[in-house]
Structure 1
């Protein structure tokens, strides 16, 4: 096994960029974060591989300006696995792929049963990768050599994997499909923040009453602010279950909170004043939250459609199996042919009149790519029309 070092000095970084610029062909890129350990999703290690250049491991916290790396790669194609996970961290450093090949997404479009990096490498190249450090704390320094070997392997074979998958895409006539999907991943805007992120507290269903929900919100906010300031994952300070336990216990004093054995976590006692103040703020909140989250543009669950919107229920029940059959014929997961949410939204509020053209426009409005529109619009329109005809016959058996 090769010995790897993390490049943290400017001169070594510039020398590596020169070597990468002198090589040719696609560039494999990967990012290691410290999810579950740190609050931020920043990159703590960036791995880069290019044929005739080799593997380089860069230390983002030590290297401020990554413009030389962006310039060195130039307009070459970037190869990433599950690119949507790494692109935000790369963009924070000013690293942006001009062209993208996503090996995970390619494997999905090709109908591979397993699409994790290890599985895809083994399936395409016959090489088994050890995935021992994927959940490690990559913010620590120094990084053990075994971790660096693992990180290097994440990019070492990725260009070869890309070549095999590109050939499979050509054989299945999916090259253009993949190109549209890769461009969509690269250009997709970041999701807007949730309106009420505190409602994602695990176990919040056990909290009853608006005043108690106000306390839960205040505790979550206090933990979030402290976690961001310390750059520590919130759950490592006080787990969700401990916050909920404190709300449910409804302690009468700071002493009662300290005595609550379910209130655990590394900061549960050291920051006791912080949590007690949050509880008091929540209790005094003049605008406690609603019992249920506001709906926004969220649709009801499909199981409720028969009562809430019977016509939409019929449309969905007719279109869903038709889209699933089409996906099977194309040898890809249904959600890659068309996301379930997109189909549900078009079924809930169909265009008027229902025909392939209007359905195509509706699909585009909800973010479907052109290749998806071209393959599904006719199928969905036919299913919607058929559901209406079926309903009319059921209402008038004599017809």
Structure 2
């Protein structure tokens, strides 16, 4: 199998390069309630590494070192959730980061469809299945379908970033996109600290 499944952490010495796509699978959408189960990563070479996180696990030294490495750009799609989930579990704040959903919202203003499947279809002519999205990620052993699904969430982010950057540059929105990416880890911290739905910039 081209995708590797690891227990508890990335293996020592694994080098995924300077740009790493990352996604998470959890038991639900509330980081304080629903535990982190799987973190999947790809260096953009068509292969994915899946890390299964144990129920009571609070450390993953190699994964956390990658998250906090200032020389490695972390790619996400809706990074706000994934960054918060890993920060809540391990105390490691991912940075620097790039989020394809934020990039899409800033530049694909002709649509309100910014999901990963839609982006892959429109920008890369790639169809990905979301069938396993709601499966039990806390199971002791992942099925082949779960592995393939988890991998699909990170295999295309490098090419999506390239395509979205072309559009951001064309529309003169790269600078504001970068500012949003820089703020994203702080936005995740605000979510965890109790301000998930509050616009702290609002006048009222």
TM-score, normalised relative to structure 1: 0.44
**Are the aligned partners of 1:6 and 1:58 in contact in 2 as well (CA < 8 Å)?**
yes
Residue 79 of structure 2 corresponds to residue 83 of structure 1:
yes
Instruction: Name 1:118's counterpart in structure 2.
Output: 117
CA distance in 1, matches of 2:140, 2:133: 16
Distance 1:146 1:181 in 2: 34
Q: Which residue of 1 aligns with 2:175?
A: 176
Partners of 2:121 and 2:136 in 1: CA distance? 26
| CA distance in 2 between partners of 1:53 and 1:173 (Å) | 31
Greater fraction helix? 1
The residue aligned with 2:17 is: 24
Alpha-carbon deviation of 1:89? Answer: 1.2
Which structure: larger Rg?
1
Q: Would the aligned equivalents of 1:4 and 1:145 in 2 still touch at CA under 8 Å?
A: no
- Matched residue count: 194
Which one scores higher on RCO, CA 8 angstroms, separation ≥ 6?
A: 2
Partner in structure 2 of residue 56 of structure 1: 49
Partner of 1:41: 34
1:209 aligned partner: none
Task: Look up the match of 2:59.
Answer: 65
Please give the per-residue CA displacement for 1:174-228, whole angstroms capped at 9, x wherever unaligned. 110101111222222324548xxxxxxxxxxxxxxxxxxxxxxxxxxxxxxxxxx
Asked whether the 8 Å contact 2:101–2:114 carries over to 1, the reply is yes
- 1:39 Cα offset (Å): 7.6
Q: SS at the partner of 1:78?
A: strand
Q: What is the rounded CA distance, in whole Å, between the counterparts of 2:133 and 2:46 in structure 1? A: 25
What SS class does the counterpart of residue 87 from structure 1 fall into? helix
2: CA distance, partners of 1:155 / 1:145? 16
- Is contact 2:76-2:97 (8 Å) kept? yes
More strand by share: 2
Task: Flag structure 1 segments of 5+ consecutive residues without an equivalent.
Answer: 195-297, 299-338, 349-399
Gaps (5+ residues) in structure 2? none
Using the TM superposition, give the Cα deviation of residue 129 of structure 1 relative to its aligned residue in structure 2, in angstroms. 0.5
* 2:103 paired residue number: 106
Residue 8 (structure 1) aligned with residue 3 (structure 2): no
How many Å apart are 1:24 and its aligned residue?
2.6
In structure 2, C-alpha distance between the alignment counterparts of 1:9 and 1:85, rounded to whole Å: 20
TM-score of the superposition, structure 2-length normalised? Answer: 0.82
**1:135: how far off?**
1.4
